[in-house]
Amino acid sequence: MSEALGRVVATERKPNTPHEFHFWTSLDCPVGIGTIVRVDGAHPVEGQIPHIYGVVVEGFSYTDLQSPMHDVLSHDGRPSNATFAATDRAEIRLYTAAVLRQIPEEPLQPVPMGEVFLAEEADVATALRMDGYLKDGSNTGIPVGVYRAGATDSVIYLDADFLLGPEAAHLNISGMSGLATKTSAVEWLLASLFAHFPAGKGSVAAVCFNVKGPDLCFLDQPGKLEDRDREMYEKMGVKPGPFENVTYFAPYTAKGFGLNTLRSNEALLHNVKPLTWGLREVLQYAEVLLNKDDIDAKADALIDFITERVVDRRFEQDHYLTRDHTVQSFGDLENWFRDLLRGMEKANAESWRTHHIATIRKVRNRLSNISTRCAGLVTDTGDVSDLPFGSFEDRAVYVVDVATLEEDAQDLIFARIVSKLREHLERRDLGVKHLVVFVDELNKYAPGDGQETYVRKMLLDIAERGRYLGLVLFSAQQFRSQVHRRVVGNSGTALYGRMDGDELATPGYSVLSPATRTKLATLEKGQLMVRHPHFTQPIFVRFPRPAVMQGRDGAERYPQATDVTLEHALYRSLRTVDPAVSLAWVNDLVALYDEGELLAARNAALVAKPSNVRGFFESRLRKKIPAQPAFSGGLTPRESISARSLPDDDPYGP
Amino acid sequence: MGHRAGVISSADRDAENSWPSSAHEARRFILNQLPGSAPVEGISAEADRYGRAEEPAVLVEPSLIEGSSFTAIRFDSDSQRTESAFAGFLDGTQQIRIVNQLDGIPIVWATVSAAIRVRVDKRLTTWPARRPSVAGRYYVPFRYLDSLTDEFRNDRRVVDTAKANESGKIPSRHPAALMESALQRIQRDRESLELDLAESWCRSESRPLYIDGSITGSAIASDSENVVGVIKTHRRLYADGDAFRVLVRLRAGERSSVFRVDRRKGFPVASWYVRVRETAGHDSLFGLLRIEAAETHDLSSRADEISRWIAAEGAPLALPDSRWDKMAYGIRDTEEFLRAIS
């Protein structure tokens, strides 16, 4: 057994309670805020010596001075004279610890006097109740980091049942920006989750929304690790490598040539897929893009009518419509609106099927505008390139890059993808049993104040009901206090990196001791404070640098592709499906067809991934006979150009 | 680093288990031993409250052994600070309570203790060679209490305070006289513990020890160059006649000539006065200490050196102790330590 490092003390003014105790140590003792200690009681309770585990939450130091003036007098008012003092004043290190666990747990008594020891690895497991889920037959521990104090180096595990459900779920991370906390912690935790999630609990995948910069754009590329990081990976049983199965999704740019992502370097395009939706996909979530003024009851009724009765079915001509319509794209819808309104105007009609002409004009205006506002994501043609709903793979990461999109498009993407994930999980046909959705910048997407938005409603829905479906929210933000309380409140696990002083002054942090708050404000990179349902007090851990390329490094190593011509855009994207595609072949087609037609054919080819890419691509284009040079028959170029030979008596002949 | 609090009593551990360890227990113990006695809820009386209050205040002609006249001698040098060479501090305490009374006869319970605190890297810790001594004893006038059992009378931790003194005088039944007699016994017991520790130091250490009080009670200590006695109270002033004027005019950084202290009850030592703080605004004895050390052949330089060590112990101040002008911080620390363990 190790040597005692302290003794419990209690006075009438500062008594011990069942949840808190005080102890003193020698001056050189390796105890600090966050250190886990064990108290061995001196007297048995019901035949058992009590062991109390606690975490240090406050520290005090003082001498036998009663007034600072006495020290001034001691040294004649000169601080430098203090070095000549023969003796240092008696000094104390007094700590306050919050109780993590008492054994036996009943009867729950005030902490007794006793010796204090630094918690060893087994003590840490007991103190944090990890012994319950690390034992054989349970084994649902997911390493979150390493707790270090003195010679103790213990892996801290989260309980998968409380991280991914069904007992509790969701994870929230707070921390200042730019200190490699939030994104790094999520990358590390996902790697740990994939490595340790018990096989018996089913498959797990992650959908990450990349909302800023290149943060999540290089998850499949190896990052720089130091030896101490590798040691931590080894200790925690996680392979120090990038994610093996990552797929990126990004909409096209407004021009439609290339993908709107920072991961546009040609060397990395093999697993970058376009994210494009047509009319049907968007119309279901029109609410996301239309504000409350847009969607009054009348407009809402007309949108429902269009969704149910017009889209994707044959709509026969009536006394206003001049022809039958099959609406499958925004283009088709625009034609339908135009035909209908022209017919109504010609007949001077005020309503059609109870819908007033003004409402029809308004809805036409708003819906038509969507394809403009979300250009690159929404296609006029109705081509759909989507996440592989139904065939999600185990331990796969799907990154949806919305970093450079307009806010409307971001909202639409969030709403639709999360809704689809939820639908599939409800039907148990997503392809995986558990899905982690990572959303950063909750301050923006789920603020505590401001008007209700569709995205916030969706995030609240996940937070409150997702765990029953296997839909788990990993969220992050800078200011936890400004996120909707029900989102953070439903997060069973919370991680905190270095925090801003102003943020720590908000009421949400008042449960932490002043010393713990001070420590939070000064955390180093790679340090986290963890709150988890099994831990009765927050615990400080270190986690390794994620083994993936950091966004900034990736952006330097794989610079974003510059604006390309239509020819190069087609060539590059089609080559990801068929490397045999040549630039000459693309050039020939570009010479013949207009831009829209070519991009539509490309989009269709990327979705269909046909075995004969060139044949498929050409089949999507209208038939055109390219100009062919006339058979020359061995004549000179001049001769070959002539339609017929000159008359022999041509006075202007050669 | 830090305090080392291991303590054993001078009595057997087994016997200690049944022996009172607090005034409250002592009161109950006597109630069992002396049926009919009444408990007394008195306040604790510490050593200095009673102290040597009965010792008369006298002026004594100093017996000089340095020079021919009692003069002020500057011992410090402004150009250079001297570090104290004291490696340890010895002090003792006594806590006295009248716990019971029977027919007006006070029964006193006292705890006497002594300890040496050694200085390691400027911090004080208990001397590992000898743990502190703590003893709890009853001080009872046997002759005035008929109902005492033989077992109680014969216990070595019970002291008879009504025995005849060296001159054959027996204290009267007057409670104050009995109390004074008890105090003298208690003081003697405390000094005995202190000197026992001091002699242990002399036998095992070669570094100087700062003792709070006189060293004349021990032949070993009074002859050792490793111990220095520092007296803070001056009921007996070795400065009669012209010497008195010299003494009260001593300034900080000055000492008196060395004289010999050779009292009937003690062993002879060299002694001198040292002023460690200026008296401006204070009484004439402010910051005045009397030093006792073994007589050596180089008395003057030895007295200067020890005086510089004593002066160096002036920081940090022993505040908030009221005797801070004379008390070394190491002694205050030792007193606080003894207060914590006894």
Chain segment A191-240, per-residue pLDDT in tens: 999 999 998 899 999 999 998 888 899 999 999 999 999 999 999 999 99
- Containing H/E element for A571? helix A566-575
Partners of B315 on chain A (C-beta within 8 Å) are 74-75, 81-82, 84-86
Contacts of B335 in chain A (CB under 8 A): none
Closest CB to A74: pick one of B2, B84, B316. B316
The answer to whether B97 touches B44, Cβ cutoff 8 Å, is yes
pLDDT tens figures, B178-200: 888 899 899 999 999 999 999 99
Query: Which is higher by pLDDT, A623 or A34?
Result: A34
- For residue B100, what pLDDT is reported? 87
Partner residues linked to A118 by β-bridges: A37
Residue B64 per-residue DSSP state: E
pLDDT tens per residue, range B285-322? 999 999 999 999 899 999 999 999 999 998 888 988 88
Mean pLDDT of all residues belonging to chain B: 86
Average pLDDT over residues A510-530: 92
Mean pLDDT (whole number) for A276-295:
77
Residue B80: pLDDT band with limits 50, 70, 90: low
pLDDT of residue B51: 41
Is B8 in a helix, a strand, or coil? strand
Asked if A27 and B1 come within 8 Å (Cβ–Cβ), the reply is yes
pLDDT of B4 strictly over 50: no
Of residues A607 and A169, the one with the higher pLDDT is: A169
| More confidently predicted of A605 and A549 | A549
pLDDT at residue A550 is higher than 70 = yes
- Residues A443-461 have a mean pLDDT of 86
**pLDDT value for A599:** 82
Mean pLDDT along residues B137-146: 90
From the list B294, B261, B257, the residue with the least C-alpha distance to B272 is B257
CA distance B300 to chain A (A): 24
Question: pLDDT tens across A240-279, in order?
Answer: 999 999 999 999 888 778 888 888 888 888 899 989 888 8
* Alpha carbons B266 and B292: distance in angstroms, whole number: 12
Cβ within 8 Å, pair B313-A90: no
Tokens 């309503």 sit at which residue?
Answer: A351
What's the pLDDT at B280?
87
Confidence of residue B8 (pLDDT cuts 50, 70, 90): very low
In Å, how far is B217's CA from the nearest CA of chain A?
28
Q: Does the pLDDT at position A592 exceed 90?
A: no
Interface of B with A in 85-144 (CB under 8 A): 86, 119, 122-124
Give the up-direction half-sphere exposure of residue B229: CA atoms within 13 A in the CB hemisphere.
30
Q: Which of B81, B124, B333 sits opposite A84 (nearest CB)?
A: B81
Contact predicate A613/A648, CB 8 Å: no
Strand partners, A164: A169
Q: Taking CB atoms and an 8 Å cutoff, what residues of chain A touch B228?
A: none
pLDDT at B180: 87
3-state secondary structure of A25: strand
Q: Which range, A313-317, A433-437, B154-158, has the best average confidence (pLDDT)? A: A433-437
pLDDT of residue A649: 60
pLDDT value for A227: 95
Query: Looking at residue B5, what is its pLDDT?
Result: 39
Query: How much of chain A is helix, strand and coil, in % rounded to 5?
Result: 35, 20, 45
B2 in contact with chain A, both atoms CB, cutoff 8 A: yes
* 3-class secondary structure, A374: coil
Would you state the pLDDT for residue A404?
86
What's residue A226's pLDDT?
94
Q: Quick one: A311 exposed, middle or buried, by C-beta within 10 A (0-12, 13-18, 19+)?
A: buried
Interface check B260 vs A, CB under 8 A: no
The whole-angstrom separation of Cα A223 and Cα A237 is 18
Q: How confident is the model at residue B38 (pLDDT cuts 50, 70, 90)?
A: confident
B6 pLDDT higher than 80: no
Q: Cβ contacts (< 8 Å) between A73 and chain B: which residues? A: 317, 319
Q: What is the mean pLDDT of residues B65-75?
A: 93
The residue of A87, A91, A95 whose CB has the most chain B CBs within 10 angstroms, and thus the best one to mutate to test that interface, is A87
pLDDT at A640 over 80: no
Instruction: Specify the range with the lowest mean pLDDT, choosing from A294-298, A390-394, A488-492, B129-133.
Output: A294-298
Q: Is B108 strand, coil or helix?
A: strand
Asked if the model's pLDDT at residue B46 lies above 50, the reply is: no
**SS3 sequence, A126-138?**
HHCCCHHHHCCCC
Output the pTM of the full model: 0.79
- Please give the share of chain A, as a percent, with pLDDT higher than 90: 47
Assess whether pLDDT exceeds 70 at residue B3.
no
Q: How confident is the model at residue A144 (pLDDT cuts 50, 70, 90)?
A: very high
- What is the spatial distance between Cα B72 and Cα B255, in angstroms, rounded to a whole number? 6
**What pLDDT does B50 receive?**
41
Residues near A31 by Cβ (< 8 Å), separated by ≥ 6? A5, A6, A25, A37, A56, A59, A93, A95, A118, A149
Q: What is the pLDDT of residue B54?
A: 57
Residue B237: predicted pLDDT? 93
Task: Tell me the three-class secondary structure of B151-213, residue by residue.
Answer: HHHHCCCEEECCCCCCCCCCCCCCHHHHHHHHHHHHHHHHHHHHHHHHHHHHHHCCCCEEEEC
Given a cut of 70, whether residue B77 has pLDDT beyond it is no
Residue located via tokens 């003894």 = B338
Radius of gyration of chain A (CA): 34
Q: What residues contact residue A357 under an 8 Å CB cut-off, 6+ apart?
A: A341, A344, A345, A349, A350, A351
- A374 vs A228, which has greater pLDDT? A228
Least confident of A452-456, B87-91, B233-237, B270-274: A452-456
